[in-house]
Amino acid sequence: MPIPADGNPFSNIFSDMAKKHAIVIGSGIGGITTAANLAKRGYKVTIFEKNAFPGGRCGCYEKDGHRFDIGATFLMMPGIYEEAFALLGKDMFEEMELFRVDPIYKVKFSNQKQLVFSSDMAFMQKQFEELEKGSFDRFLKLMSRGFHIYDRSMAMINRNYFSPFDISLLKYPFLLFKYKAFHDHYKYISRYFRSEELRAFFTFQNLYLGQNPYSSSGMYTFLPFMELSDGVYFPKGGMHKVAETLLSIAEAYGVRLELKSPVLRIDVEGKRATGVTLKDGSFHPADLIVANADLPYVYRELLPPGRKSKGLERKKYSCAAIVFHWGVDKVYPQLGQHTVFVSDKHRESCKTIFKDNGFAEDPSIYIHSPVRSDLSAAPVKQDSITAIVHTGNLEENREYDWKEITDHARSAILRRFAEEGMDDFEKHIKFEICYTPDSWKKTFNLSRGGTFGSLAHNLLQMGFMRPANYHRKYRNLYFSGGSTQPGSGMPLSILSAKLVTERIDRTYGNPN
């Protein structure tokens, strides 16, 4: 046992006894960041994580010198990460080595056309004008529009609303009308560009939020602006480095992480949650609990049945994904760090995924090849390729033949690679790891395998309209992560930790 600074071996024990005990369910990025915030405030914090590894969808997998991020591959909105580190008394750029990824991504179309998204405006102008005359000016107008939407929407979502009569909420409907929130994103972008390539280029980003580019809100016009203005980064060591670094800060503040410790239920009495019972039957009392596991799952499986859970079932869920991780003994120059292959049946494939909840014949594909900025991701002259194919989410009582479905998805990718001159790709695969929608559900308890949510990120389910970060009955039960306020994705899951900590501070005070 380490001797405390005052030299008294018992002082830690007595001070721990006086501390409030917070239990965090799940070690996703939202859970780790909340745990660190609470420990910094003096809480005794234990994280119970069902899996054998921390980080949830920001976890990583290593094999034979190849490293893969299980989920997130883009570090967007770096300011949110920076603030989370700063609130823990740390400088993000000192804690992690970050590379700015520029060009941000390559978007390839099946007619051999390609657009590269870069901060080099002369290059952007050349590309756009070659494709469609006058499009560069319209691109600049679109970016200016994106700036206003981004600025206003961040101001709306980067805070708690402690009262439904909060005056700022009155502004919200005006904002929605002003920024064409009720217009379909694709239709809105079509006013700016005639070329199908440019329309796809400025709307495909919806896919990484798990939503349909053809029917998502016109407000998402801000996504490419945000990527350009704030930059897209990649940490040395992969996206998992963010979880690992925040976890080591949390542990330095005293957080205890218990892996392979699935929570079976949250125990409640009257209007309070009293603690958690693990699958092994052990009970762990707590003064307060923060559930970072998927929120609809927590209401459905960990809490006594209630109306809220039924209401959550009726919400919209994000799409799912089949993800392949391949250790490859070759580096392909055709791929950038982030490459998107837009299918020539993009519209039909989006309809199959989002409207029919199915598996597209000829899907658009996203590829991550991290050795472009981080040579540590694979052995020398090799690569660790991740391919993401979006699919419908899981339906109850439907049988899925995962072998047939994943074989089909793999063939679609190999076919597309062959068109790019990568016809020997299959021969260079050393091994494959595959996540299906069912794996997302089983590994992380994501409702319906909703890989990017689980709750969809549509207009009525984002910001303060997403399920609240506290339980209305059990007043010491809180939520953090991608399925509570303000939204999904790494930055917003990190932001959820700040918001829930502020809420906890209102009840329990902040000694810092």
Ligand X SMILES: Cc1cc2nc3c(=O)[nH]c(=O)nc-3n(C[C@H](O)[C@H](O)[C@H](O)COP(=O)(O)OP(=O)(O)OC[C@H]3O[C@@H](n4cnc5c(N)ncnc54)[C@H](O)[C@@H]3O)c2cc1C
**Smallest separation, CB 430 to ligand X (Å):** 21
What is the bridge-based pairing of β-strands 283-285 and 272-278?
antiparallel
Q: Which residues contact 126 (CB under 8 A, 6 or more apart)?
A: none
**Smallest separation, CB 293 to ligand X (Å):** 3
Cβ proximity to ligand X, 57 vs 300, nearer residue: 57
Cβ proximity to ligand X, 139 vs 204, nearer residue: 204
Binding residues (CB under 6 A) for ligand X: these are: 25-31, 48-51, 56-58, 71-74, 76, 208, 262-263, 292-293, 321, 323, 388, 444-445, 451-452, 481-482, 488-491, 493
Cβ proximity to ligand X, 179 vs 452, nearer residue: 452
Cβ proximity to ligand X, 188 vs 341, nearer residue: 341
| Cβ pair 46, 292 in contact under 8 A | no
C-alpha dist (Å) from residue 451 to 66, 208, 278, 295, 435 = 23, 10, 25, 13, 10
- The DSSP code for 368 is E
**Smallest separation, CB 496 to ligand X (Å):** 7
**Smallest separation, CB 139 to ligand X (Å):** 23
Cβ proximity to ligand X, 275 vs 491, nearer residue: 491
Cβ proximity to ligand X, 25 vs 135, nearer residue: 25
Distance CA 16, CA 12 (A): 6
**Smallest separation, CB 59 to ligand X (Å):** 7
Nearest residue to the partner ligand X, using Cβ: 28
Cβ proximity to ligand X, 208 vs 253, nearer residue: 208
CA atoms within 13 A on the CB side of 330: 12
- 234 phi and psi angles, rounded to 5 deg: -145, 125
**Smallest separation, CB 135 to ligand X (Å):** 27
Cβ proximity to ligand X, 127 vs 389, nearer residue: 389
Helices and strands (DSSP H and E) totals, the chain:
17, 19
**Smallest separation, CB 283 to ligand X (Å):** 14
| Cβ pair 207, 243 in contact under 8 A | no
C-alpha dist (Å) from residue 423 to 33, 109, 388, 417, 427 = 43, 17, 19, 6, 9
What is the bridge-based pairing of β-strands 60-63 and 283-285?
unpaired
**Smallest separation, CB 392 to ligand X (Å):** 15
Cβ proximity to ligand X, 24 vs 189, nearer residue: 24
Distance CA 269, CA 233 (A): 46
Burial class (CB in 10 A: 0-12, 13-18, 19+), 302: buried
Distance CA 473, CA 468 (A): 12
**Smallest separation, CB 158 to ligand X (Å):** 16
Q: Which residues contact 16 (CB under 8 A, 6 or more apart)?
A: 44
